[in-house]
A and B are shown apart, each in its own frame.
Chain A
Amino acid sequence: MGAILECDRLTKRYGRIVALKGITLTLQPGIVGLLGPNGAGKSTLISVLLGQTPVTSGTATVLGLDIRRRQRAIRRRVGFVPENDCLIPGMSGTGYVYFAGRLAGMSHADAMQRAHEVLDYVGMEEARYRPAEQYSAGMKQRLKLAQALVHDPDLLFLDEPTNGMDPQGRQVMLSLISDLGRAGISVVLSSHLLPDVERACERVVIMGGGEVLTEGHLEEMNKPHPTLYRVDFQGDTTSFQRRLTERTVRVLEQSDGCFQIALPEEGSQRLVFQAAQDTGTKLFGLHPKRSSLEETFMAAIQRQQNA
């Protein structure tokens, strides 16, 4: 299967403000997290990819369809869950999802049947017959997901889908997103909640200032650091630290029975064992440090600000 998104030097200007600065990006099918601080250009990128906002320059395709010429064809194959409520006052949950299906081009019978199917899927039981404005925040989010799924899209854009949800509701939403990924629907999850992205996504794109700062697989981002380690031990802290320093191992942080260390080079863990042996220290663990998504995110933002 080809790429779900391909952007080539995609630029969007609003007067003097450059919202997207020549974004070049290719996303393969799967669940992708779109991260970035406010004003990073995430919503503008989604709007451009939905074919709503005309681009200033550059090209992009969504599911192989050109965003400049095939906007309606794109929206037939894409679902969008906006950040805001976007509910129509007076409509029941069923009516709302049915209406979304009709707008997508479904027949009356198909839209009604499919509305009930997707409402079952998102876990809306008898509440579906109540006016949607009476729903809790979690139910509104699930209703919005249902309207985005009604026409069975191949790609979903989710803008902050867990906003305002309680922990249980968040778990439900994230498990739904994971399930959609397994069902073959690609998802672009725009969120500022890094744990949600870590839980649901396979790949991450970090944006800042209208640019893609970094992107990659979460596994790669969380791979062990080659020289940074945590040492758990029992013994004399002072002598162990002195011996490590003599063997060119830097101690970055220390707490009771635990050091954060930096080895002089990759694969030089033996220096730690030798220092422990020299001082009679018992080692309980030597764990390579893994960079978290948050650290990667902060580092990317920091690099961009410095630049």
Chain B
Amino acid sequence: MTTASTDRVHQYQRWQGTLGKTHWTWPAIVVSGINLSLRHSKTRILLLTSGMPALTAVGVFYITSLLESVVGTEEARGMYDFLNALLHIDIRGISQLAEFRDVLWRSTFLMMARLQMIWVLIVVARVGTGVIANDLKARALPIYFAKPVTPATYLLGKWAVVAFFVALVTLVPSHAAFALGIALTGGPGTWAQVFTLAVDLTASGALVCVVSAAVILALSSITSDQRYVTVAWVAICLLPAFAQAIISESLPADSRMGWLGCISLRDDIVIVIEYLLRIRQGLAATSMPAERFAQALGSPVDPSKAALVLGALTVAAIVFSWRRVVRFSRTAATV
């Protein structure tokens, strides 16, 4: 182990440079947080596997484009079954599939979003739960708040770390699937049909990033023990989802469509994504009978209610985190 000699060679040298704007210190927090998280091989593996839903979506796009050329033939039957199993949309016998491409793609991305929620749950549990809790445990806050870092800068930096990883498992695969889908299914012709989807996908991904990062920041600021934060995060994600499933089975449709249909964080996000992807409007605008896609969409829940729940939860989480971080910043030198 190296120790400093009492006969030191170096003398202190003053620094002649100038410091930059302190408002822009948050990217340093982001880069540091990302680098630290990516050092864990489990995180890297998790990120690699998050491309699976996107690959599935690309497969669907490719199969639907093939189906357009073999519709009505014996070969098409297996493809129908595959698509029906994935999307829960009955497209058998539809001769002009190209007309439904936009809505089929939107349905595929909804299916993909549902699958991606699993990765969001795991990735946030892996990289988000310790984002503030680990600083509390290591008593590392003085390193931030003895420097010109404000609570807002700190919170923004930490939020962006989580949002970055959530984007890696939602936004990035979605857009990659979108681009690959266009490349594999006809290029400019397909692009002209589905280009508005790019904006909707961005909005959907941003929604997941904002909500999940805000919620985990609040949870992570409660305690210095990352394990408790992980348990709380998993409980918040899963328990209301189970309750929602029970409610859906036991209550009449009217009740399910009201506030009782909005108690699950995961389901609320999917409901709002479904709205953002404009699937119901898209399907209604086609000649496809409603019963063919009823199973894919489930009971209609008012998206404004789900959006309100998500908005309230996000604002509450941000306010809570803010208050906690302000408190930490005031005691950083004395903890």
What is A's interface to B at a CB cutoff of 8 Å? 43-44, 46-47, 50, 52-54, 71-73, 75-76, 78-80, 82, 84-91, 95-96, 99-100, 102-107, 110, 114, 117, 120-127, 136, 138-139, 142, 147-149, 151-152, 159, 168-169, 171-172, 175-176, 179-180, 183-185
- Known contacts being A47-B333, A105-B19, A122-B4, is A88 close to B36, with CB within 8 Å? yes
Do residues B2 and A105 form an inter-chain contact, with CB atoms below 8 A?
no
Partner of A43, one of B25, B29, B334: B334
Tell whether B332 is near chain A: CB-to-CB under 8 Å: yes
The smallest C-beta distance from A186 to any residue of chain B, in angstroms, reads 13
Do residues B138 and A87 form an inter-chain contact, with CB atoms below 8 A?
yes
The smallest C-beta distance from B95 to any residue of chain A, in angstroms, reads 58
Do residues B145 and A52 form an inter-chain contact, with CB atoms below 8 A?
yes
The smallest C-beta distance from B330 to any residue of chain A, in angstroms, reads 5
User: Which single residue of chain B is at the shortest CB-CB distance from A90?
Assistant: B36
Do residues B14 and A103 form an inter-chain contact, with CB atoms below 8 A?
no
A-B contact count (CB 8 A): 171
New A-B pairs, 13, CB < 8 Å, besides A47-B331, A110-B17, A172-B4: A46-B333, A50-B145, A50-B333, A54-B330, A88-B143, A103-B29, A104-B148, A106-B20, A123-B10, A127-B1, A127-B2, A172-B5, A179-B11
Interface flags for B133-153 (1: CB within 8 Å of A; 0: not) read 011001111111111111000
What chain A residues lie within 8 Å of B13 (beta carbons)? Answer: 117, 121
Name the residue in A76, A123, A180 with the highest tally of chain B Cβ atoms < 10 Å from its Cβ. Answer: A123
Tell whether B251 is near chain A: CB-to-CB under 8 Å: no
Partner of B143, one of A103, A107, A149, A175: A103
Chosen A-B contacts, 23 in total, with CB atoms closer than 8 Å, are A47-B330, A47-B332, A52-B146, A54-B330, A75-B147, A75-B148, A76-B22, A86-B138, A91-B32, A100-B143, A103-B28, A104-B19, A104-B25, A120-B10, A121-B8, A121-B10, A139-B1, A147-B143, A148-B146, A152-B14, A172-B6, A183-B11, A185-B12
Do residues A80 and B142 form an inter-chain contact, with CB atoms below 8 A?
yes
For window 144-173 of chain B, which residues contact chain A by CB distance below 8 Å?
144-150
User: Which single residue of chain B is at the shortest CB-CB distance from A44?
Assistant: B334
Do residues B4 and A123 form an inter-chain contact, with CB atoms below 8 A?
yes
Q: Which 4 A-B pairs have the closest CB atoms?
A: A123-B4, A102-B28, A152-B15, A80-B146
Do residues A76 and B148 form an inter-chain contact, with CB atoms below 8 A?
yes
Do residues B2 and A126 form an inter-chain contact, with CB atoms below 8 A?
yes
Do residues A142 and B4 form an inter-chain contact, with CB atoms below 8 A?
yes
What chain A residues lie within 8 Å of B150 (beta carbons)? Answer: 72
Tell whether B108 is near chain A: CB-to-CB under 8 Å: no
- Known contacts being A80-B146, A86-B139, A107-B20, is A184 close to B14, with CB within 8 Å? yes
What chain A residues lie within 8 Å of B139 (beta carbons)? Answer: 82, 84-86
What chain B residues lie within 8 Å of A75 (beta carbons)? Answer: 146-148
What is the bound-complex CA distance between A123 and B4, given in angstroms? 5
Q: How many chain B residues have a CB neighbour from A under 8 Å?
A: 48
Do residues A53 and B330 form an inter-chain contact, with CB atoms below 8 A?
yes
User: Which single residue of chain A is at the shortest CB-CB distance from B134?
Assistant: A89
User: Which single residue of chain B is at the shortest CB-CB distance from A184?
Assistant: B14
Do residues B143 and A47 form an inter-chain contact, with CB atoms below 8 A?
no
For window 25-66 of chain B, which residues contact chain A by CB distance below 8 Å?
25, 28-29, 32, 35-36, 39
- Known contacts being A75-B148, A88-B138, A103-B28, is A52 close to B12, with CB within 8 Å? no
What is the bound-complex CA distance between A146 and B84, given in angstroms? 62
What is the bound-complex CA distance between A74 and B6, given in angstroms? 32
- Known contacts being A151-B15, A169-B3, A183-B12, is A99 close to B330, with CB within 8 Å? no
Do residues B142 and A104 form an inter-chain contact, with CB atoms below 8 A?
no
The smallest C-beta distance from A175 to any residue of chain B, in angstroms, reads 7
For window 228-270 of chain B, which residues contact chain A by CB distance below 8 Å?
none
The smallest C-beta distance from B260 to any residue of chain A, in angstroms, reads 43
Do residues B19 and A151 form an inter-chain contact, with CB atoms below 8 A?
yes
Partner of A180, one of B12, B24, B138, B146: B12
What is the bound-complex CA distance between A149 and B39, given in angstroms? 27
What chain A residues lie within 8 Å of B19 (beta carbons)? Answer: 76, 104-106, 151
What is the bound-complex CA distance between A239 and B280, given in angstroms? 115
What is the bound-complex CA distance between A138 and B22, given in angstroms? 31
What chain A residues lie within 8 Å of B141 (beta carbons)? Answer: 86
Partner of A99, one of B1, B5, B32, B334: B32
User: Which single residue of chain B is at the shortest CB-CB distance from A176?
Assistant: B8
What chain B residues lie within 8 Å of A126 (beta carbons)? Answer: 2
User: Which single residue of chain B is at the shortest CB-CB distance from A166?
Assistant: B3
The smallest C-beta distance from A166 to any residue of chain B, in angstroms, reads 9
Tell whether B192 is near chain A: CB-to-CB under 8 Å: no
What is the bound-complex CA distance between A142 and B10, given in angstroms? 14
What chain B residues lie within 8 Å of A180 (beta carbons)? Answer: 12
What chain B residues lie within 8 Å of A168 (beta carbons)? Answer: 3, 6
Do residues A105 and B138 form an inter-chain contact, with CB atoms below 8 A?
no
Do residues B4 and A87 form an inter-chain contact, with CB atoms below 8 A?
no
What chain A residues lie within 8 Å of B8 (beta carbons)? Answer: 121, 123, 172, 175-176, 179
- Known contacts being A85-B139, A87-B140, A152-B14, is A105 close to B148, with CB within 8 Å? yes
User: Which single residue of chain A is at the shortest CB-CB distance from B12?
Assistant: A183
The smallest C-beta distance from B272 to any residue of chain A, in angstroms, reads 35
Do residues B140 and A88 form an inter-chain contact, with CB atoms below 8 A?
yes
The smallest C-beta distance from B42 to any residue of chain A, in angstroms, reads 14
What is the bound-complex CA distance between A34 and B138, given in angstroms? 26
Name the residue in B11, B17, B19, B334 with the highest tally of chain A Cβ atoms < 10 Å from its Cβ. Answer: B334
Tell whether B329 is near chain A: CB-to-CB under 8 Å: yes
Tell whether B335 is near chain A: CB-to-CB under 8 Å: yes
- Known contacts being A80-B142, A107-B20, A172-B4, is A43 close to B333, with CB within 8 Å? yes
User: Which single residue of chain A is at the shortest CB-CB distance from B17?
Assistant: A110
The smallest C-beta distance from B133 to any residue of chain A, in angstroms, reads 11
What chain A residues lie within 8 Å of B21 (beta carbons)? Answer: 105
